[in-house]
Amino acid sequence: MINKKLIKDLLNESACSHNKEKKSSCDKPKPGATSGGCAFEGAQISLFPYADAVHLVHGPDTCLGASWETRATLTSWEGENNTPLGYCTNVTTNDIIFGGDKKLAESIAYIVKHKNPKAIFVYETCVTAMIGDNIDFTCKEASAQFNIPIVPVHAPGFVGGKNLGSRLAGEAVLDALVGTKEPKEIHPYGINLIGDYNVTGDMWQYVPILERIGIKVVATLSGDGRIEDICQAHRAKLNVIVCAKSLITLCRKMQERYSIPYVSVSFYGKRDTSNAIRSIVNAFGDEAMSERAEKIIIEEEAKLEARLLPYREILKDKKAILNTGGNKSWSIASALQDIGIEVVATSIRKATEEDIAIAKTYVPILMKVPANEQAKLIDEHNIDILLAGGRSLYTALKKKVAFVDVNQEKKVSYGAYGGLENLAIDVCAALQNPVFKLAGKAAPWEN
């Protein structure tokens, strides 16, 4: 069942800065003026990277049919990778009349028989929430029968946006998995990575560096994650939230229950990556480790600078406008600055209070209505490149400036030191491409 009280609590999270000032909830979709994904999608994004678990969506087609195998989250799991696979109970008219519990139970049995996963996550959707299927009971019975965790995730789309769904997924993991297994040994510098989904292998850009410093990743939620690891996550010494405000509740609760402190970091850009490493290391208060970390940071930064050298000349004195949402409004800005670009303005249209506060420290102009402001700013500041979603392409062509679609599913990692070179390559390619001046050219009969 949907837990109304939990949803209310999650929306009023005390660790969210905006809730200290006003009592507005985190998200409320407006009919006819909403573009973001739903709670189910948020839950899916947060949990699908567990490749050793099967993700079963209990609902009709739209929820999964359009969304499976769409995210480039990578895993090193050697068994069958369940992340790019889609499992759906395909609820039909008949199930709506007679209830979908039987179909769900049969589907779980089918999955256990044919796939033998480490766990099954069962996602409630709007329709199965409406018809009142007793998903908790079905999961509990099946879990006892098959002796694997079968975890109900109560984040049907209509309860809210992606952010809330991600929170609800975190709660499901916290209640059903975390603390259910004791590790053989407890690592003195063990951390949990929370909120990095290893899209295009982002995590793999910085985890080896952490390991060299002496830090061990105990568990993740959920990039390259394993069910067994998350069950033992309560024995880590530190929670590291990576660019994901939505999972702050989970970290606060783990602090209360298991006395695990948490730090919030970003691995986009050189400065932020170095700072992220420092905040993690500082949390342990081990001087030898801090020294080791500083050495490695100097080393990595020097290596990066050498690799960026060929692009510096092209990127020098270039000015950009960034129009994207959420934490990207500042994290990508920071990364762009690190490759030598001046970021004149960034959009805060879809950013949280917290993101706006951070964005202020990086970028001079914050755009509230970028659609109206960006064209003017391009002229006023002599901008060279616009980084935005596909809808802004026409603005770039009209103003004859280079364009990078930052909202499109990216193919390579922009994470940490290594990823910054990829960003430099992509930005240079756009800056040097004649297509942006050519494609919008007037036809001979238009003059």
Partner 1 sequence: MGKLKEIKPLHVNPLKLSQPMGATLAFLGIKNCMPLMHGAQGCASFTKVLFTRHFNDPIAIQTTAVNDITAVIDGGEYSISEAITNITKKVTPDLVGLFTTGLTETKGDDIKGASLLLKDKQAIVWAHTPDFEGGLESGWSLSVQSVISQLIEPSTKLNKDKVLLIPNVNLSAIEVEKIKETLELFDFEVYALPDLSDSLDGHLGIKQGALSSGGISVEAIKKLGDTGLVITVGRSVKKCGELFKEKHTQSTHLHFDSLVGLQACDDFYGKLLTCKGLSKPHASIQRWRKRLQDTLLDTHFALGKAKVIIADEPDNAYALSQALGEVGTKVHAIIAQRSDISEAFTCKVQIGDFEDVEILLPSFDAIISNYHAERLAKKYHKAVLFRGFPNYEQVGIGLKNNILYEGTCTLLCEFANMMVHHEGH
**How buried is residue 302: exposed, middle or buried, by Cβ count under 10 Å (0-12/13-18/19+)?**
exposed
Task: Compute the least distance from the CB of residue 309 to partner 1, in Å.
Answer: 33
In whole angstroms, the minimum distance from the beta carbon of 191 to partner 1 comes to 32
What is the distance between the alpha carbons of residues 315 and 341, in angstroms, rounded to a whole number? 6
Alpha-carbon distance 186 to 284, whole Å?
Answer: 15
In angstroms, rounded to a whole number, what is the distance separating the alpha carbons of residues 335 and 75?
25
- Residue 312 vs 376, nearer CB to partner 1: 376
Residues at the contact surface with partner 1, assessed by CB under 8 A: 2, 28-41, 56, 59-70, 84-93, 95-96, 103, 106-107, 110-111, 126-127, 129-131, 156-161, 390-391, 393-394, 397, 409, 439-440
Question: In terms of Cα–Cα distance, which of 353, 414, 354 is closest to 387?
Answer: 414
Nearer of residues 84 and 214 to partner 1, judged by Cβ = 84
Nearer of residues 408 and 447 to partner 1, judged by Cβ: 408
CB of 240 to partner 1, least distance (A): 29
Which residues are registered as beta bridge partners of 322?
Answer: 346, 387
Which residue number, 285 or 434, has a Cβ lying nearer to partner 1?
Answer: 434
Using DSSP's 3-state secondary structure scheme, residue 330 falls into helix
Pick the closest to residue 178 from 272, 260, 92, 114 (CA basis): 260
Nearer to partner 1, 110 or 305 (CB): 110
Rounded CA-CA distance 55/152 in Å is: 10
Sign of CA dihedral 67, 70, 74, 80: positive
Closest CB to partner 1 among 86 and 340?
Answer: 86
CA distance 311 to 321: 19
For the CB of residue 95, give the shortest distance to partner 1 in the complex, in Å: 7
Shortest distance in whole angstroms from residue 376 CB to partner 1: 16
Report the alpha-carbon angle 72-195-430, nearest 5: 45
Alpha helices per DSSP H over 214-244: 227-231
Residue with tokens 């932020």: 272
Per-residue tokens: 222: 């959920």
Peptide bond into 222 cis (omega under 30): yes
Residue closest to 205 by CA, chosen among 51, 413, 424: 413
Cβ neighbours, 10 Å, residue 119: 21
Nearer of residues 310 and 390 to partner 1, judged by Cβ: 390
Q: Which is nearer to partner 1, 93 or 432 (CB)?
A: 93
